[in-house]
Amino acid sequence: MDETTWLEETVRDLGADRVGVADLAAAGGLETQPRDLLEPYPRAVVYAVRLPGAAVETCRHGPTPEYAHCYRVANEELDRIGFAVARALERRGHRALPLPASQLLDRERLVGHVSYKALARLAGLGWQGKSLLLVTPEFGPRVRLGAVLTDAPLPAGRPVPNRCGSCTACADACPVGAIRGVGTEAHYRSREEAVELSRCAEACFGFAGRPHIEKPICGVCVRACPWGQKRETRS
Ligand code: B12
């Protein structure tokens, strides 16, 4: 069995819906915490877990307890998968570092270890939509992402073209008007180019104060994207 087939079977058997490999030589300029995080690792295994469609559908005006529950379980799933993938890679003689599904390392600047959307885009899992979210052709943005850094010489994927076109559904739906509706061919130079970040973050942290939500989440732009809705009507 070749390395790609092994990886796809392993990660899918663990419960992920999509998996790809990013060539980190193409990740130059990407901010990381700590700064040298990617240095020992030429590759990242990036995987996606699809959120139950019915839970996403409840987010008409903001997050609901049902969505918050799925958010929490998805994070546990992602962490479990990443841990198992890292151990499987180690058993094959490689170095592998699983990254946490959702950890804010700098609360002021709102950054984690590295952008999983950027890694997923480099791996070819989807494109960066106007909402800043990673949009997959299969499930739209209705996925949560995980990543394992590794020195395994896995064949890497390639970015796919952006397919948002003139759609502004996410911007139209945003409850605080934070999404500017600006398109990009590859990726935004900064988050501000696409989103008024302080508005988005204030809304998410505001929702966290509501009963049974407790985390800075929203879900409205996730729900609004037609790429995710297409899939729900087909299944
Ligand atoms: C901090 C954070 C937040 C903050 C700040 C959000 C923001 N817009 O930055 C808050 C709390 C507000 C938040 C909100 C949300 N979040 Co959040 N969040 C994160 C977290 C923990 C870190 C993100 C980070 O460090 N960003 C750093 C900046 C610089 O990167 P960026 O936003 O990806 O954008 C830049 C790069 O991607 C770059 N880029 C892309 N490709 C390339 C390639 C190269 C070479 C370079 C140089 C750059 C580059 O272009 C962008 C501009 O510079 C990640 C987990 C993770 N570690 O990725 C989850 C994550 C991004 N969040 C996620 C989600 C789903 C949400 C919410 C929908 C909440 C919810 N669950 O309901 C909202 C959506 C807000 C929005 N529309 O942006 C998911 C996204 C899944 C997806 N399909 O894309 C993630 C990946 C968590 C996960 N494990 O799945 N989040």
Residue 135 CA: nearest ligand 1 atom is 83
On the question of pLDDT at 234 being above 70, the answer is no
Give distance in angstroms: CA of 191 to centre of ligand 1. Answer: 9
Per the CB < 8 A criterion, the answer to whether 117 and 145 are in contact is yes
Residue with CA closest to ligand 1 atom 69? 217
Q: What is the pLDDT of residues 180-230, one digit of tens each?
A: 999 999 999 999 999 999 999 999 999 999 999 999 999 999 999 999 997
Give the other-Cβ count within 10 Å of 11's Cβ: 25
Per the CB < 8 A criterion, the answer to whether 145 and 78 are in contact is yes
pTM, to two decimals? 0.97
Q: How confident is the model at residue 233 (pLDDT cuts 50, 70, 90)?
A: low
In the chain, the percentage of residues whose pLDDT exceeds 70 is 98
On the question of pLDDT at 118 being above 70, the answer is yes
Q: What is the pLDDT of residues 9-20, one digit of tens each?
A: 999 999 999 999
Query: What are the φ/ψ torsions at residue 210 (nearest 5 degrees)?
Result: -80, 150
Q: What is the pLDDT of residues 105-114, one digit of tens each?
A: 999 999 999 9
Give distance in angstroms: CA of 9 to centre of ligand 1. Answer: 27
Residue with CA closest to ligand 1 atom 35? 191
Residues 6+ apart with CB under 8 A from 219: 56, 58, 59, 62, 63, 64, 67
CB-count exposure of residue 167 (10 Å: 0-12, 13-18, 19+): middle
CA 196 to chain centre: 19
- The mean pLDDT value for 103-128 works out to 97
Query: What is the per-residue pLDDT for 231?
Result: 64
Q: How confident is the model at residue 235 (pLDDT cuts 50, 70, 90)?
A: very low
Residue with CA closest to ligand 1 atom 77? 131
Residue with CA closest to ligand 1 atom 39? 118
CA 130 to chain centre: 14
Pocket lining for ligand 1, CB < 6 angstroms:
27, 29-31, 71, 78, 101-102, 104, 110-113, 115-118, 121, 128, 131-134, 141, 143-145, 187-188, 190-191, 195, 197, 200-201, 204, 216-219, 221-222
Q: What is the pLDDT of residues 49-102, one digit of tens each?
A: 999 999 999 999 999 999 999 999 999 999 999 999 999 999 999 999 999 999
Q: How confident is the model at residue 1 (pLDDT cuts 50, 70, 90)?
A: confident
Give distance in angstroms: CA of 5 to centre of ligand 1. Answer: 29
Per the CB < 8 A criterion, the answer to whether 223 and 56 are in contact is yes
Query: What are the φ/ψ torsions at residue 85 (nearest 5 degrees)?
Result: -65, -40
Q: Where are the domains of the chain?
A: 3-234
Residue with CA closest to ligand 1 atom 33? 115
Give distance in angstroms: CA of 1 to centre of ligand 1. Answer: 34
Residue among 116, 176, 196 to mutate when testing ligand 1 (max atoms within 8 A of CB): 116
Residue 29 CA: nearest ligand 1 atom is 47
Give distance in angstroms: CA of 93 to centre of ligand 1. Answer: 31
Q: What is the pLDDT of residues 24-45, one digit of tens each?
A: 999 999 999 999 999 999 999 9
Residue 63 CA: nearest ligand 1 atom is 72
